[in-house]
A and B are shown apart, each in its own frame.
Chain A
Amino acid sequence: MATIALQDLGKTYAGGAPAVSGVSLDIADGEFVVLVGPSGCGKSTLLRMIAGLETITTGQVRIGSRVVNDLEPAERDIAMVFQNYALYPHMTVRQNLAYGLKNRRMAGAEIDRRVAEAAAILEIAPYLDRKPRQLSGGQRQRVAMGRAIVREPAAFLFDEPLSNLDAKLRVTMRGEIRQLQRRLGTTSVYVTHDQVEAMTLADRLVVLNKGRVEQIGAPLEVYRQPATVFVAGFIGAPAMNLLNAAREGGAVVLGGQALAVAAPPGAGPVVLGLRAEDLHPASPGTPGALDLAVTHVEELGAQRLVHGHVAGQPLVAAVTADLALADRLALGLNPRAAHLFDATSGRRLA
């Protein structure tokens, strides 16, 4: 059990652009933090810097009270779960779990106790004497987690551990990881590119883009108050509609039409963010309504996604499945659900 503190952390590969820069983050004891971002955003690099598998160019990593920058991975008191499980193929499940403990010269009886305990928690006891290749993907994933649990480390580091599982199993394992982490109360850092996984697992989300932190916050906070255009477009499914608009005299103007959205004083181009689920059908001609030219419809069962254009810009709206559709659809919007971003800096306005 420990806190993890990252201070102005940066990583530059020799002869390359910075992969991670200026990341500062304080992770509380027992907290579940998810690093999320598109591929190449530096989230895995950041995790591997915490693990000690990548060298640190600038800044500091503290685990508990120790600065661990120059410590070997094994000395950092962390355990890691890898994307491809990284189980030792020639060892049985039992040997896989015990290997890290054996290397630490732990007494045999204690090793047996911990392995049995982890096997019971993860329900892998029947497979202890099998080789990894005799296990299914989900079982291998459990063994990989077991290898982390037996160590009783200060922190768990997860590097996209569910991306090799099929969709259904992923949802189940997601729930199990969350429950397990709650139960053990071990500080965890989890990397994923899947924003649904990130939203459901995290106590706090760290959204990364191009090696920099875009926003840190609780999942709902990030969802409701995205700090930048990037976060707005990345978190949420379907992705938030981002429309180029302008503000004039305290109102937002889109395609020459003033919308019922209050804007902070000032003038100039803005990006208007509207979530598909915040748009609702309105009677044609309602002042401030958006006039959507429908191109196609995606059926999701409970609702349908209407794709189209407003003032020449693409837009998606989520409507109930029983709505009769024509070529054009008038959409009302909840003024409080509109997000406004500065068009040049990409930062949230108010």
Chain B
Amino acid sequence: MVERRPLLQAAAHLVLILGVLIVAFPVWLAIVASTHPQEAFQTGLIPVWPGSHAVENYSAMLGQGLSNLGAPPLGGMLWNSLVMALVIACGKIAISITSAFAIVYFRFRFRMLAFWCIFITLMLPVEVRILPTFKVAADLRMLNSYAGLTIPLIASATATFLFRQVFLTIPDELMEAARIDGAGPMRFFTDILIPLSRTNIAALFVILFIYGWNQYLWPLLITTDEGYYTIVAGIKRMAEAVDAIPVWNYVMAAAVLAMLPPVAVVILMQRVFVKGLIETEK
């Protein structure tokens, strides 16, 4: 937009500021709530300004957890979530970049069939196939393990499709030049394709890390052992106190802590992330 009309600009700013407020207000409430003592919530009103119990709440959550509500100390759950998110993100990228490589650069029988089979699984997210997937995971003795938390979520049609599109924009001449330069398929893959899709890999990593971190239903099903609880599922367990008053100050402290790693990933990788989504020049 190159138009410069003051009224238009004011309106645009108004819309944007409203948007930010709508998104940011609940986050503000969560942060505020995590700094009050438990009694502050018994009036039924949520405080809007920060209180004085921040240190106690956070140290309690990180130190002891809420064992009576099925929540071990947060450190362990944060670690489980981190492992799960990292393995899912890296695994998805590794598998989908190699399958896209196979589909784009090799002529084999049933190539298009393979592509469409992968593509069709887009219609079958975890939630749709959750019962059979649970059955398979249980039969393979993957309940209560990192393998169970991650492997069933690793295959990714979306990422395969994205890498396929990236590879299709890379000119054939580059592949031919590499062939003449004596690079075999795997060397072409590691020396040319991967460096050229670096920004796409980074962008995808951000998206997939958050996807993995936010997994809720699957960890809830597959883990019954405290040692494998993830933070997102853990928050749910804490808030769902039976026959007790929900300890909102602690729950909110956990929620704020759970927000930090994805926020850190986004902030650290923001530049490559945006570049990877908009870059067209190859």
Contact = CB atoms under 8 A, between A and B. Distances in A.
B179 A86 contact: no
Contact of A74 (B181, B191, B198): B181
Given A86-B171, A90-B195, A79 B183 contact: no
Interface string B149-186: 00000000000000000000001011011111111000
A103 B182 contact: yes
Given A88-B192, A89-B282, A90-B195, A104 B173 contact: no
Contact of B180 (A73, A87, A88): A73
Contacts of B180: 51, 53, 73-74, 78-80, 100
A254 B187 CA distance: 66
B239 to A, nearest CB: 48
Given A100-B182, A103-B183, A104-B182, A86 B196 contact: no
A82 B173 contact: yes
A261 to B, nearest CB: 49
A82 B182 contact: no
Contact of A90 (B176, B177, B182, B196): B196
Interface string B187-205: 1000110011010000000
Interface in A82-119: 82-84, 86-90, 99-100, 103-104
Contacts of B171: 84, 86
A196 to B, nearest CB: 25
A121 B179 CA distance: 25
A335 to B, nearest CB: 50
A52 B171 CA distance: 18
Given A90-B195, A103-B187, A104-B182, A73 B176 contact: yes
A133 interface: yes
A156 to B, nearest CB: 11
B176 A133 contact: no
Interface in B43-67: none
A70 interface: no
Given A86-B171, A90-B195, A103-B187, A53 B182 contact: no
Nearest to A51: B180
B173 A86 contact: yes
B281 interface: yes
A86 B182 contact: no
Contacts of B191: 88, 99
Give the secondary structure class of B's interface: helix
B196 A72 contact: no
Nearest to A103: B182
A103 B281 contact: no
B282 A86 contact: no
A53 B182 CA distance: 13
Most B CB contacts (10 A, CB to CB) among A73, A78, A83, A104 go to: A73
A52 B174 CA distance: 15
Most B CB contacts (10 A, CB to CB) among A74, A83, A147 go to: A74
A147 B171 CA distance: 18
Nearest to A72: B179
A215 to B, nearest CB: 29
A74 B182 CA distance: 5
A133 B282 CA distance: 9
Interface string A17-55: 000000000000000000000000000000000011100
Contacts of B196: 89-90
Nearest to B194: A90
B209 to A, nearest CB: 24
Contacts of A78: 180
B280 to A, nearest CB: 13
A270 B9 CA distance: 76
B181 A103 contact: yes
Contact of A82 (B176, B183, B198): B176
B174 A73 contact: no
Contact of A80 (B177, B182, B192, B198): B177
A104 B183 CA distance: 9
Contacts of A74: 179-183
B97 to A, nearest CB: 16
A80 B176 CA distance: 9
A53 B178 CA distance: 11
Contacts of B176: 51, 53, 73, 80, 82, 86
A68 B195 CA distance: 32
Contacts of A147: 177, 181
A192 to B, nearest CB: 17
Most A CB contacts (10 A, CB to CB) among B174, B182, B192, B198 go to: B182
Interface string B4-17: 00000000000000
Contacts of A133: 281
Interface of B: 171, 173-174, 176-183, 187, 191-192, 195-196, 198, 281-282
- Closest A-B pairs by Cβ, 3 of them: A100-B181, A74-B182, A86-B173
5 contacts: A53-B179, A73-B176, A74-B181, A82-B177, A86-B171
